[in-house]
Amino acid sequence: MDVSHILVTNSRQPDRSEKDDSVQLDPGLLAVTDLNTIDEESYNTDLEAHLLSLAQTGVQSLLGSLFSLPTTSSPDGPLAQLPPPIYQLPRAKPLPKPKAKTKWELFAAAKGIQKKTREKRVWDEEKQDWVNRWGRGGKNKEVEDQWITEVPMNADVDHDPRKAARDARKERVAKNDKQHLQNIARSQESSGPSSTREGRKQEINKTVAAARISTASMGKFDKQLEGEKKPRGVKRKFDPAEAPAEQEKQSSLALLSRMESDSKKMRKDPQADEKVLNVRKAVRFASKGKGGVALGRDVSGKKGKARTGRGKR
């Protein structure tokens, strides 16, 4: 293998060892910043070779700094522990707003209640095993799955303990969902104009106005509720009678351009060789589908009857 041309090429590259001090390394971001001035002669002579030389020097410096970092062993080989980045890159989006606290979190903070994480599995004395607290086969469905259940003395005749336990559990789930939606609505109070009382009122008025005209009669024959106000229409805005000459000129030009575009969209006048009337369709319509011969026979018959009638008179 002949590598003489590679050696000759590398021997011609300038020695940048004295310029490595101006190369700033950031191993945390795997970035290299070259602050050296551009060699105008090599830049104008061969741009590709000049850029390749800069990239080679920067990568060599970066790899040298990576090999000096502490490493950890892994199945794939030693891994270098990157230090914290030096440069602080700007964020693409603004910082997220702090999440609003729920009603319970505010109450717990005021009373000094510490949050406790409940375990997902609990001990079942009957089964002598750990079971799920919620979900399929959960501890919260223990009453629903029992084969025998104690019935209160004042219970109705048709009292079903399983159904009562299931309804109570469903009510708790619905209550939690309702509180969750209320917390979401409360957290969005500071996110836009619709969060305020006046903003919500405007949204309701818009929804009601849209519902009024959603019927077939556009709300004209709908029954109005007691105390319901008539919807206020949009007032038309007219241009002033007197306007600057430049404004009138622009409006006139806009009107002419719009008229020109509309004229292009309109159907062109038929040419001399184009048939405006579809004779075949007209004959079929006049003869009620019988054809041109039958139409001519009927027309001639009507003329003959008219002449004989005039002669008898």
**Given this model, what pLDDT does residue 36 score?**
83
Q: Quick one: pLDDT at residue 9?
A: 56
Per-residue confidence (pLDDT) for residue 313, from 0 to 100:
47
Query: What pLDDT is recorded for position 94?
Result: 86
Q: Give backbone dihedrals phi and psi of 105, rounded to 5 degrees, phi first.
A: -65, -40
CB atoms inside a 10 Å sphere around CB 169: 16
Low-confidence ranges of the chain (pLDDT < 70): 1-21, 189-196, 231, 233-235, 262-277, 302-313
pTM of the predicted model as reported, rounded to 2 decimal places: 0.33
What pLDDT, on a 0 to 100 scale, did the predictor assign at position 86? Answer: 87
Which residues, in sequence order, are bridge partners of residue 124?
Answer: 129
